[in-house]
Amino acid sequence: MYVLSGQLGAGGVPKVIYNVTTNLRESVEEIRIAYLGGNDDSVTRFRDAGLEVECLGEKFPDVRHPVRLNRSLREFAPDIVHTHMGAASLLGRSVGQLRDTAIVSTMHNLYRERAFAARAMDYPTSPLADAIVSVSRSVQKSLPERFGIGARSTVIHNCIDVDAVVRRGQATGDDVAWAADVPEGPLIACVARMSEKKGQHHLIRAFQSVLEEYPNAQLALTGWSDYKRKLIELAKNLDIDDHVHFLGKVPNPYTVYSAADIIAFPSKFEGFSIGMLEAMAFGKPIVATGIGPFREALGADHEYATPEHPLDLADLIVTYLSDDDLAAERGRKAQNRVRNKFSGSVGAEKHYQLYQELRT
């Protein structure tokens, strides 16, 4: 099996590749992970796990990519090529056609939310794939009607290593230095990149209402971007900035999940959030908007807030803060669900079944 990714940074796609491939090793004879270049923060992690990793050049575009990929495929002779990200899919499908191999491509985000360049690279070669994997039903439904025409279309959700995530959340020392500046009180946490689509501005507005009921509550926001300035200004304008803590880039964000009383996901849309799965692993009550991918993760019987409605978010936060039994029950249910449905072993088994079907 040959996995081709645009990069191997610290983001969600490399995490999924890692969790699937490490769980596939007993079922698949050989695995090679190749990437086009650029961010390589996760390369050491892959190699420490005993996986072969190959860099094919500099960050895309690199004129050497097609030649190096063709040479690598000729040498490795895989029966499956699995591509992730637009540039890798463009190259993997095009060059892979020269080989006797099945080609699988995973779609990680809603099609309309992908950059124009990624769509321009991905769409024309999509019919060359034998299977298109979407990480959620919402992502699958977002694909154009003729995207991957002739290819099998299936959904395989993202997955995580539940035990490893929880272990990292139990770290101490420098990993929890962020907590020194957060006063005592019920802690609501949001761990995500800061952007309008992630909805942190709605959460801050909701928190103003929460403070009316729980005046010692604290809101912790991780992440960074230019959007952070607007969020800081919003908290000041609402006169709640003493209770809203901008933690920036936390080296070990799992400790934030572990310390929180409630974890919030106020997003307007998502592909299929790995952050949500990681939060579920800690058995904490989760306040989330009712978008499709969150419903797929948490289940139909979870309570949800209407997207872009701060009062809905506030009501759910207050509900969990005022009912310890309900909060504990929702946390246990989420934790059991992520173990049973979204663990690395489950994700690997679903991929393996697909590979076996494509081989026959």
* Residues 166, 77 within the same domain: no
Contacts with 295 (C-beta within 8 Å, 6 or more apart), sequence order: 302, 304
Q: Are residues 217 and 323 in the same domain?
A: yes
The verdict on 217 and 278 lying in the same domain is: yes
Question: What's the 3-state SS for 193-231?
Answer: CCCHHHCHHHHHHHHHHHHHHCCCCEEEEECCCCHHHHH
Same domain, 243 and 121: no
- Give the pairing type, strands 80-84 and 2-5: parallel
Q: What is the pLDDT along the chain (360 residues), one digit of tens a residue?
A: 999 999 999 889 999 999 999 999 999 999 999 999 999 999 999 999 999 999 999 889 899 999 999 999 999 999 999 999 999 999 999 999 999 899 999 999 999 999 999 999 999 999 999 999 999 999 999 999 999 999 999 999 999 999 999 999 999 999 999 999 999 999 999 999 999 999 999 999 999 999 999 999 999 999 989 999 999 999 999 999 999 999 999 999 999 999 999 999 999 999 999 999 999 999 999 999 999 999 999 999 999 999 999 999 999 999 999 999 999 999 999 999 999 999 999 999 999 999 999 998
Q: Which domain holds residue 29?
A: 2-159+343-359
Same domain, 251 and 351: no
- Shared-domain flag, residues 282 and 152: no
Task: Looking at the structure, tell me whether residues 296 and 166 fall in a common domain.
Answer: yes
**CATH no. for residue 272?**
3.40.50.2000
Same domain, 279 and 183: yes
Residues 293, 174 within the same domain: yes
Domain count, the chain: 2
Tell me how far apart the alpha carbons of residues 8 and 22 are, in angstroms, rounded to a whole number: 15
Same domain, 191 and 303: yes
Burial of 36 (0-12, 13-18, 19+ CB in 10 A): buried
Residues 128 and 247 reside in one and the same domain: no
pTM of whole model > 0.75?
Answer: yes
- Say what the alpha-carbon torsion angle 114, 117, 122, 123 is, to the nearest 10 degrees: 90
| Residue 34 and residue 183 in one domain | no
